[in-house]
Every structure is written in C-alpha cells, then in structure tokens.
Amino acid sequence: MKKNLIIGLVTIFLLSCNDEFLDRAPLDTLTNENFWQNEEHLESAANALYTALRGKDVLNIFESMGEAAPWAVTTAYRTIGGGNYSTDISQINSIWVSAYYNIGRCNFFLNNYERATSVSEAVRERYAAEAHFFRAYDYWLLTSLFGDVPYITKELNVYSDDVYRGRDARAAVIDSISSDLEKTYKNLPAYIAPASAEFGRISQGAALTLLSRIYLYNERWNEAANAAKKAMGLGYELYSTGNPTEDYRNLFNFTGRASRIAANKETILAYVYNYDLGEDARTSHNLSRELWVPNDYSRFAPTKTMIETWLTADGKIWDPSTVNTYEEVFENRDPRMKQSILPPNTPWEGKKDGNPNNTNSSMFTYPKFSNDKDGCMTYSGYYLYKYVEPTEVSQVGHDDNDIIIFRYAEVLLNYVEARERAGTITQATLDSTINLLRDRVGMVHLTMSNIPEGSDIRTEIRRERKVELFFEGQRYLDIIRWKQGELLGQDLLGVNKRWLDESKLTSGVLNTLKWKSVDGEQYLIIETGRTFNAEKHYLLSLPFTQMQRNPNLRPNNPGWD
C-alpha cells in the first residue's frame, strides 16, 4: 500500500490533512479548521518550531562526531565521525527524520498562517519569517551532511507526489533557502534584548548569522561577508566585564547566560531552559554534571589535537616537547585554554581527583584515570571547564543553563573567513574581528606581518575559529567543509605520559592504560581504528530505511552503494 512506502518524514505533514469525512469541525475543540484565528494561535504554532534548534543535543551529536572533545566512550555518533558505520545506522536516519519532521511543521505553518486575518500583517509576517528561518536551518544541516536532498515546501499527505520526490541539487536548495531568508529577515525584530521576555526568539541578527553560515558553508564568500556585516551593525557586542581571566568562561555559565543577564549582548540566539517553571513545564539538561560527574567518568574527552591547538601567550605555535609536567601544559598559553579546559589547582565539584595526596575534594589537582565511582574519571587526562555551571554538578538533570546557538563571535569569524577567502582581507579586518576576540582575554593580536612561524593567515583564521568556538557543536561541520577529513581518521589520543608525575597518582595506574608512540612520546589512547576515505566520507550515507521507502532517493552518495 502506498502509505506504507512513505518517506519517514511524512508523519508530521499529516497534521495538515483535512478529515474529509467530517462535515464540519467541532466548535469546542481546536482543529486545523478553526485554529488559525488569532495571534495566540500563531505564536503557539510558531513555538512548536523551536525544537529544530536541538538544544544540548547539538553537542551530543556534533562534538561526538568531531575530534576535539568527543563523547568519552564509543557512541554511534563517535562511530560516524570515525568512519566506521553502515548505511542502516539508526542515528543517521534520526537526523534525517528529525530534520524533515521540523521542515514539515514549517511548511504546515507557512501554508496556513495567512488565515489569521484578524492579526496584523506585520505580526503574521514576523511569525512566518521564523518559519522560514527554521526551514532554512534544517535544509542547511541536511545539505551539509547529505549533499543533494529532496526540497519540499508543501504540506504532504499519502497521495502527494512529493512523497516520492527525488533529490534536488544542493546548490538549488541553497539558492532557495538563502533567497527566503534574504526576503523575510527584515520582518523580524532587528535585536532582541538579553534577559527580556522575548529572548530566545528569532531576530534579524539570528537570521543574518544563519545566512552568513549558509553562504560560508557553500563558498559564496562575498555574500557570506555581506550577511555577517549586516549582523555586525545590529547592536551586538562581545560579552566583557573587564575581567580577561573569567569573561570568556562566564559567557557559558550562570554568570553570563543571556536569558537572565542583561549585560550579555553577545548571545544572538540560545536554546533557553528553565527548571523553575514547575514539574509539568520545566526544561533542563545535564551538561554540567556530565562534564564533572562526581561518581563516574567525564562524558566528553578533550583530546591531544585540541590541547595542541591553543597558541602560546605570545602568539607562537605551542611546542609540546618544551613541556615536562602536566601543570606546564596550561602555562603561558592563550588565556582561553584555561577557561575551556580545567587547569590544576582550580575549585571544582567533581569530588575526588586522581591525586591520593589531595585531601581537599573541592579542589582539582590531578587527573583521575581509574573509574572506581569515587570522583570524576577522565579517559583523556583532561576535563572540560567551558559550559560547566558548578552549582548544578551535584544535581542530576537540573541544569538549565542556556545552550548557545549563535553568538556575535561567530559573526566576526564568519566575516573574517569570508573576507580572506574572497581575497579582500586587510589588517583592519583582523582588528575588527579576531583581535576583538583576543582583546577580551588579553591575548596578543594577530597581524598580517607577524603570522606564527610555519603557518599562514588561512590556517590562523581556522585556528581562531577552532579555539573560540570550541565545544559549541561546530567542529565536525567545519572539518567537512574545509576538506580536512584526514583529521577525523586519526586515532583519538589524550595526555602525554611523560608529563604525568606518578607520585601524584594511584600507584601503578599508568600501567593499566594503553599508550601510543607519536614522535617518540607516549600518548594515552582514547580510540584507534578510525578511518576517513575522502572519496566517501565527506557526505554521510543516505539512511537505508529512507532509500527502501523511496527508491527515487537513489543513487546513494559516492562510496556508499
């Protein structure tokens, strides 16, 4: 039967189908026939679209697929990033179905919102612009991961031709969604103030940031720069209280969360959680506890490649061979390192660390390598500091910190990257972008005349993005679009064995671990056997389930059939 062969995305579209066997809709029940009447209805329908942002799942998925701070033990998403998966893995199907589920809701909204004739045109078009934003967001994600995908803008039922639609060219999809955003973003408020009742809704700033990201990912450099430049004129600024040793980290904890803190004008769009709403309405996640879980392993594992990314404090490439102790790894580095990775002798809530001589469980002094359920263990030798709200570590699932989707720092990085790729970068470009980010933390400037020895301007712009946007869910997609897939195929490694002082560790614990020799040094093994085939892995396989249901999706992406 035809309905048994429908693409997995159709279920939500059926919400828009009329029940033709009914003579009329019940007067005392909200149905599609009587729903679209007032602004409350429009807002309610628009609110349902916000799940597309995925919240903390952005980290669960895309950090796990990357190589900088993946999930500490093997998960399906880490397996995907490591190239060792088959076409029938359910997580890829979930990404596809979730995206089209959200797109279906957007289509349903856009095909019905004009029925609210009692609502002013300006209000109607604002909510419609939100729907265009979310549809563009999911198509950007789908094209980034899968390339060509079906471009559907209509409501579907089991008889719709688009149920069996083949794949549309990625470039055509990008043309359509970018055109939608260009036409509709001005119907949104230009700027939504932090800590206001509307914070978390889509603004012109969010739409333009997404637009710059879409153009950047599709190598439309001048358009990416133009969209970012427009966003740069909307009133956003980097969060800073004049405290270079804390401001970057505090942007990601309760001190600076924009949903509550009016001084944070950097966060353009966040997925806002609120545990205080009551048992039936509260929303929360568990990220802070996962990073410092006091009776198990830390859920994300910062890796060797990330530790080596931060420059020295004077702007030079860091040389691991100059370091002799674990403590020295953190010294004289880009100040963002100590605000991203937990340094020794820092207060924490992970309880017992790996140092048997440490009698103060509220102070981290040394990594813990044995998972004895008494303190927080690490599989890499490092712990995340960024995004940890210490007051929420002791509670399971109580964390309602904002998860940032777009912030002004990305706008600046999008702009400088686009200008460099377009061949129009100048020192003034660096000073108005990267060097503003460095000023916040007291880091030396990047100049065109003093690029670190052995590097080049493009490499340094990419380094800056990796450092500034670390653990924000962008790393995997950046690797893919930069065609640096070989980084995903390398072993995941952790701390250098030579740096560890056995007198600060449980006797014999280092002998229970596995190590790999790299340039004559021994590094802790997190995962081996990863692979990356450039002829295959720059695009994910189409989900096997979807190809079964809709044969017109074939052929699969190169290398997957």
Segment among 4-8, 440-444, 502-506 with least mean pLDDT: 4-8
pLDDT tens digits, 176-187: 999 999 999 999
Structure tokens at 324: 């002799």
Q: Give the per-residue SS3 of 416-443.
A: HHHHHHCCCCCHHHHHCCHHHHHHHHCC
pLDDT tens digits, 218-244: 999 999 999 999 999 999 999 999 999
Whether the CB-CB separation of 131 and 114 falls below 8 Å is answered with: no
Task: Give the Cα separation of 272 and 268 in Å (integer).
Answer: 12
C-alpha angle 61-66-71 in degrees, rounded to nearest 5: 60
pLDDT tens digits, 288-299: 999 999 999 999
**What pLDDT is stored for residue 18 in this prediction?**
36
**What pLDDT is stored for residue 1 in this prediction?**
31
Query: Does the pLDDT of residue 503 top 50, yes or no?
Result: yes
Task: Give the Cα separation of 147 and 429 in Å (integer).
Answer: 32
Query: Does the pLDDT of residue 14 top 60, yes or no?
Result: no
Query: Does the pLDDT of residue 161 top 90, yes or no?
Result: no
| Bridge partners for 403 per DSSP | 271
**What pLDDT is stored for residue 27 in this prediction?**
43
Mean of pLDDT values over 333-353 = 98
Element spanning 212, H or E = helix 204-217
What is the CATH number assigned to the segment(s) 1-168+536-561?
1.25.40.890
pLDDT band, residue 29 (cuts 50/70/90):
low
Q: Enumerate the domain spans of the chain.
A: 1-168+536-561
Q: Write the Ramachandran bin of 350: left for phi over 0, alpha for psi from -120 to 50, otherwise beta.
A: alpha
What value does the mean pLDDT of the chain take? Answer: 94
**What pLDDT is stored for residue 8 in this prediction?**
36
Query: Does the pLDDT of residue 254 top 60, yes or no?
Result: yes
**What pLDDT is stored for residue 12 in this prediction?**
36
- Residue 477 CA, chain-centre distance (Å), reads 9
Task: Give the Cα separation of 199 and 349 in Å (integer).
Answer: 30
By DSSP bridging, strand 403-407 and strand 267-271 are antiparallel
Query: Does the pLDDT of residue 207 top 70, yes or no?
Result: yes
